[in-house]
A and B are shown apart, each in its own frame.
Chain A
Amino acid sequence: MKKPATLIYGLEEMPPPFITISNGIQHVGLIAINLVFPLLVFRAAGTPLDLIGGLLSSGLVVLGIGTFLQAYRLGPIGSGYMCPSTFTATYLAPSLLAAKIGGLPLVFGMTLFSGVLEAAIAPLLNRLRAIFPPEISGLVILLIGMSIGTSGLRLVLAPGAEPLSGAEWLVAGATLVTMVGLNVWGVGTLRMLCALIGLVIGYIAAGFAGLFGTTFVAVHDADWIGFPIPAHLAWAFDATMIAPFAIASVAAALKAAGTIALCQRMNDADWVRPEMGSTTRGVLADGAATAVAGLMGAVGTNTSTPGVGLAAAIGVGSRPVAYAVAVLFVLLAFFPKLTALLAIMPRAVMVSALLFTATFIIINGIQVISSRLLDARRSMIIGFSMVAGISVDIFPSLSAAAPKMFMPVVGSPLVFGTVIALGLNLLFRIGVRRTVNLTLDQPEGAHQRIDDFFVRQGAAWGARPDVIKRAIFGVTQLVDAVDENCRKEGPMTVTASFDEFNLDIRLAYQGALLEFPEQRPSADDIRAGLEGMRRLAGFMLRRNADRIASERAGDRVVVHFHFDH
């Protein structure tokens, strides 16, 4: 592992105490806004105000434990990276559903189930990519983002909700404008903490507008200092809730794996591809944290991607910072007045916070979807399941008319959209040849044919564009070099074989063997003539592929390229 130049304090380094603590505070500030997720769920379950404060305190302790588990390598658990825990939108929709059906006991029980499930799938994660390709995880993220936005608006616009008063509109506006304004035009810390600052402004505005009403009594009555003990904990399980929570578990596992990969890349200048060891350990820790959340009366947690983004932006990725974050979370839990203040968050402030967080999740989903080459099959998978997901919300009568046993699937946009996507993905595999051939018999137009062949196949396979580009370069450069230096006669045949983890290409031609040297010929050798140029081609081809091999049989040469996918 080589520390990149952009990192001031690497993973194993100990920054000065002031930097460690102020960084820790920044991380806590960044994550604070996600406390709206448990808050929303507790309210949906009709939890009395005085209990919510205690539950939020307990939730803060959970975040501390999660952050610690992730950084400290305890047995097989924990990636060892500075990667803070946060409450996640991923579990919001299923948790709201559980709150409605079975109250808090069902939320906690199912959260525990989700955590155990996430930990269980951690070792299988790499294999899961084939069934759950990136365009589908992207779709899941997109649907999650939209469900956050709509669950925010539902607080104020749903048929049964009390319409927003003029004062509430103003408070909601002030909150949103602060968050958006600081995020778009702010710089440095102001920008990083835009959500937290927006919350503070929202609270102040709500205070002036008198929106707290009698609820402020809860803050007044709360102690300054007290133990974070959640009251009346109970757990319940409901089989119909398995589907929504299981999908959320898979989504959380994939997101955690992505965040850990981000940590790996941030801490290693030589990073090429995710290292599965620490990824598995990280997902295991993430699942464990969610299980702890279920036990301690909170909603599901996940690794904080913005947290890692913040660490990268300021160049501090040290493990001691993670410990500082963990300690700060636990410390905050000892101030009941603070959690009571959070518990009385006016809905006007909440709506803005939810809308604001939704935007980034939606864009993230779109980015993940478009990280793959999309052909007709994939476009239809995304399009159909997107419409299917949205229509659950638009036409509630459709799911209401469905048999009760299908409710867990058709009752939730997230679950219905995902199930449609997974089904179409399996269906559309029919007729996709995993191994394909191309014969290049004449030099004219060969480059265009190589391009077309790989772009078309790459899209049919759903291969990553960067890998396909490397394949195109490899084949084109080999054809060029062989044509110029080694070809005797006859066509060159290209055979490409793909599965989710490998792209193998075999090229056969009649002629001389091309050398793949480990050292680049010197600039003078390259300038001198054909020999240097040929060795340069071989050198670049070696570096372009993850593995290369060649062999000669008589005057027939076979070259293999292997690309990890």
Chain B
Amino acid sequence: MARVEIRLPNRRDKMSEVGAMVESFVRAQGGSGETVHDVGVVLDEVLSNIIAYGYGPEQAGEIVVRADIVDGRIVVEIEDGGQPFDPLSLPPPDLSAPLRERKVGGLGIHFVRQLMDEVAYARVGGTNRLRLSKQLPVTPTRRD
């Protein structure tokens, strides 16, 4: 079955590579331009979060990204061995906060929730596992 697995170090400069690979996978599976874009945005946000919050400054680690098609849904799983960290627990954007620069996390997770149908977090052993899924269009357009 259609499935792709990528392992990457917790380094920002590797992120866009992974994004591109998963996007081309989604496109090959018949995802529309919108879906491809959505998955790209979500992956970007989640990986940024893990790299920013999950590991110590000098700590090297590995992140595993898996993409799969199950019953017409695109399912993306992201695993990392960093500190226990549930991105869904990030407080929603604080409306009363004054103008100031914040970490991307709080705002970014908003897009993750908006763009995906389901977002689930689990701590399994020493691993953070985030599972994201989204319905593909019923009549997939082959390449947009």
Chain A residues engaging chain B, CB cutoff 8 angstroms: 434-435, 437, 439, 493, 495, 497, 501-502, 504, 506, 508, 510, 516, 518, 542-543, 545-556, 558, 560, 562, 564
Counting chain A CB atoms within 10 Å of each CB, the highest count among B41, B103, B107, B110 belongs to B107
Q: How far is the CA of A562 from the CA of B93 in the complex (A)?
A: 9
The answer to whether A554 and B12 have CB atoms under 8 Å apart is: yes
Closest A residue by C-beta to B108 = A560
Which B104-119 residues have a C-beta within 8 angstroms of A?
Answer: 104, 106-108, 110-111, 114-115
Write the nearest CB–CB distance from B79 to chain A, whole angstroms: 19
The answer to whether B14 and A554 have CB atoms under 8 Å apart is: yes
- Name 5 interchain pairs, CB-CB below 8 A, sorted by A: A435-B111, A508-B41, A552-B12, A555-B16, A558-B44
Q: Flag whether B15 is at the interface (Cβ < 8 A).
A: yes
Binding stretch for chain A, among B60-68, B94-102, B135-143: B94-102
Which B44-67 residues have a C-beta within 8 angstroms of A?
Answer: 44-45, 47-48, 51-52
- Please name all residues of chain A whose beta carbon is closer than 8 Å to the beta carbon of B71 when the two chains form the complex: none
The answer to whether A556 and B104 have CB atoms under 8 Å apart is: no
Q: How far is the CA of A558 from the CA of B47 in the complex (A)?
A: 12
The answer to whether B95 and A560 have CB atoms under 8 Å apart is: no
Counting chain B CB atoms within 10 Å of each CB, the highest count among A435, A493, A502 belongs to A435
The answer to whether B107 and A547 have CB atoms under 8 Å apart is: yes
Counting chain B CB atoms within 10 Å of each CB, the highest count among A506, A516, A545, A548 belongs to A506
Q: How far is the CA of A545 from the CA of B107 in the complex (A)?
A: 13
- Please name all residues of chain A whose beta carbon is closer than 8 Å to the beta carbon of B37 when the two chains form the complex: 437, 439, 493, 495
The answer to whether A504 and B110 have CB atoms under 8 Å apart is: yes
Which of A435, A547, A550, A560 meets B114, CB within 8 Å? A435
The answer to whether B110 and A554 have CB atoms under 8 Å apart is: no
The answer to whether A560 and B104 have CB atoms under 8 Å apart is: yes
Q: How far is the CA of A435 from the CA of B37 in the complex (A)?
A: 11
Closest B residue by C-beta to A499 = B114
Counting chain B CB atoms within 10 Å of each CB, the highest count among A493, A546, A547, A564 belongs to A547
- Please name all residues of chain A whose beta carbon is closer than 8 Å to the beta carbon of B38 when the two chains form the complex: 435, 437
The answer to whether A547 and B102 have CB atoms under 8 Å apart is: yes
Which of A439, A493, A542, A550 meets B104, CB within 8 Å? A550
Instruction: Give the tally of cross-chain contacts (CB within 8 A).
Output: 93
- Please name all residues of chain A whose beta carbon is closer than 8 Å to the beta carbon of B115 when the two chains form the complex: 435, 495, 497
* Besides A439-B37, A550-B101, A558-B48, 6 other A-B contacts (C-beta < 8 A): A497-B111, A504-B107, A547-B102, A553-B16, A553-B51, A560-B104
Which B16-61 residues have a C-beta within 8 angstroms of A?
Answer: 16, 34, 37-38, 40-41, 44-45, 47-48, 51-52
Q: How far is the CA of A550 from the CA of B100 in the complex (A)?
A: 11
Closest A residue by C-beta to B95 = A564
The answer to whether B16 and A547 have CB atoms under 8 Å apart is: no
Which of B45, B103, B107 meets A562, CB within 8 Å? B107
The answer to whether B99 and A497 have CB atoms under 8 Å apart is: no
- Please name all residues of chain B whose beta carbon is closer than 8 Å to the beta carbon of A543 when the two chains form the complex: 99
Which of B16, B41, B45, B103 meets A554, CB within 8 Å? B16
Q: How far is the CA of A437 from the CA of B107 in the complex (A)?
A: 17
A560 in contact with B107 given A547-B99, A553-B16 (CB within 8 Å): yes
Which of B12, B47, B93 meets A502, CB within 8 Å? B93
The answer to whether B93 and A553 have CB atoms under 8 Å apart is: no
Write the nearest CB–CB distance from A525 to chain B, whole angstroms: 21
Closest A residue by C-beta to B49 = A551
Q: How far is the CA of A416 from the CA of B45 in the complex (A)?
A: 46
Write the nearest CB–CB distance from B15 to chain A, whole angstroms: 4
The answer to whether B13 and A504 have CB atoms under 8 Å apart is: no
Write the nearest CB–CB distance from B34 to chain A, whole angstroms: 6
Write the nearest CB–CB distance from B35 to chain A, whole angstroms: 10
Write the nearest CB–CB distance from A248 to chain B, whole angstroms: 30
A549 in contact with B101 given A502-B93, A506-B111, A564-B95 (CB within 8 Å): yes
- Please name all residues of chain B whose beta carbon is closer than 8 Å to the beta carbon of A548 when the two chains form the complex: 99, 101
Closest A residue by C-beta to B104 = A551
- Please name all residues of chain B whose beta carbon is closer than 8 Å to the beta carbon of A437 when the two chains form the complex: 34, 37-38
Which 4 pairs show the lowest CB-CB distances between chains A and B?
A554-B13, A553-B12, A560-B107, A553-B15
Write the nearest CB–CB distance from B76 to chain A, whole angstroms: 17
Q: How far is the CA of A558 from the CA of B37 in the complex (A)?
A: 14
- Please name all residues of chain B whose beta carbon is closer than 8 Å to the beta carbon of A549 when the two chains form the complex: 101-104, 106-107
Q: How far is the CA of A437 from the CA of B51 in the complex (A)?
A: 25
The answer to whether B111 and A504 have CB atoms under 8 Å apart is: yes
A553 in contact with B114 given A437-B37, A547-B97 (CB within 8 Å): no
- Please name all residues of chain B whose beta carbon is closer than 8 Å to the beta carbon of A555 when the two chains form the complex: 13, 16
Closest A residue by C-beta to B12 = A553
The answer to whether B104 and A508 have CB atoms under 8 Å apart is: no
Q: How far is the CA of A558 from the CA of B104 in the complex (A)?
A: 9
A547 in contact with B93 given A435-B114, A552-B12, A554-B16 (CB within 8 Å): yes
Q: How far is the CA of A483 from the CA of B132 in the complex (A)?
A: 34
Counting chain B CB atoms within 10 Å of each CB, the highest count among A501, A548, A551, A552 belongs to A551
The answer to whether A516 and B110 have CB atoms under 8 Å apart is: no
Q: How far is the CA of A501 from the CA of B114 in the complex (A)?
A: 14
Write the nearest CB–CB distance from B125 to chain A, whole angstroms: 28
- Please name all residues of chain A whose beta carbon is closer than 8 Å to the beta carbon of B110 when the two chains form the complex: 497, 502, 504
Closest B residue by C-beta to A436 = B34
- Please name all residues of chain B whose beta carbon is closer than 8 Å to the beta carbon of A560 when the two chains form the complex: 104, 107-108
- Please name all residues of chain A whose beta carbon is closer than 8 Å to the beta carbon of B95 when the two chains form the complex: 501, 546, 564
- Please name all residues of chain B whose beta carbon is closer than 8 Å to the beta carbon of A439 when the two chains form the complex: 37
Q: How far is the CA of A564 from the CA of B93 in the complex (A)?
A: 10
- Please name all residues of chain B whose beta carbon is closer than 8 Å to the beta carbon of A542 when the two chains form the complex: 99, 101
A434 in contact with B47 given A506-B41, A542-B99 (CB within 8 Å): no
- Please name all residues of chain B whose beta carbon is closer than 8 Å to the beta carbon of A545 when the two chains form the complex: 99
- Please name all residues of chain A whose beta carbon is closer than 8 Å to the beta carbon of B34 when the two chains form the complex: 437
The answer to whether B44 and A553 have CB atoms under 8 Å apart is: yes
The answer to whether A551 and B48 have CB atoms under 8 Å apart is: yes
Closest B residue by C-beta to A544 = B99
A495 in contact with B41 given A549-B104, A551-B104 (CB within 8 Å): yes
Q: How far is the CA of A196 from the CA of B73 in the complex (A)?
A: 68
A434 in contact with B114 given A554-B13, A560-B107 (CB within 8 Å): yes
The answer to whether B111 and A556 have CB atoms under 8 Å apart is: no
Q: How far is the CA of A510 from the CA of B13 in the complex (A)?
A: 12
Closest A residue by C-beta to B36 = A437
Write the nearest CB–CB distance from B103 to chain A, whole angstroms: 7
Q: How far is the CA of A538 from the CA of B21 in the complex (A)?
A: 32
The answer to whether A553 and B48 have CB atoms under 8 Å apart is: yes
